[in-house]
Amino acid sequence: MQIGITRTIPWRIVGATFAFAVLLAGFWIEIQNTRIVETLGGHVTSAFVCFALLLAPLWFFGFGAGEALRERSGSAVARILLPAFLAIPYLVFAIPRGELRWAYVLALVAIPICYAAIFEAARLEQKFAWQDFVVLLSLALLLEI
């Protein structure tokens, strides 16, 4: 599939997008038939959008979107700041519920940016290095706190 003159979208991404839409439709139907609706207290739509936003990077990176994103991301600054968008699902979920915590927003923006900066500065081969250890150790410590 071609967009404009210079960009092409691989068919695997088109297929992945269709499958993702079908998967989300299936989840939406299932949610309507469970007690989750009652548990979320009227915030089903924001919770579902949050779920979709959390699943999307995992889904599309599994179909090769990471390589395309890396090629189109441009500068090192863009590659470092791009992970800040991973905080959007929290905002989508917390704001409608009135449960926004700025400390969480700061952490959800700062941690991925710091990790991206470590990896961008390293420019390492695809093998385990000390930067990988630092990131994994910090994640483990965050989970234990």
> pTM of this prediction?
0.74
Cα separation, 140 vs 137, whole angstroms: 5
Q: Please give the residue range of the domain that contains residue 86.
A: 73-145
Domain count for the chain: 1
- pLDDT band with cut points at 50, 70 and 90 for residue 9: low
Would you say residue 47 lies in a domain? Answer: no
Would you say residue 25 lies in a domain? Answer: no
- pLDDT band with cut points at 50, 70 and 90 for residue 79: confident
pLDDT at 6 over 50: no
| Residue 109 or 119, more confident | 109
Hey, what are 143's tokens?
A: 């989970």
Report the pLDDT value the prediction gives residue 7, as an integer from 0 to 100. Answer: 58
Would you say residue 63 lies in a domain? Answer: no
Would you say residue 99 lies in a domain? Answer: yes
Mean pLDDT, residues 94-115: 93
Report the pLDDT value the prediction gives residue 20, as an integer from 0 to 100. Answer: 94
Query: In this structure, which amino acid lies at residue 13?
Result: I
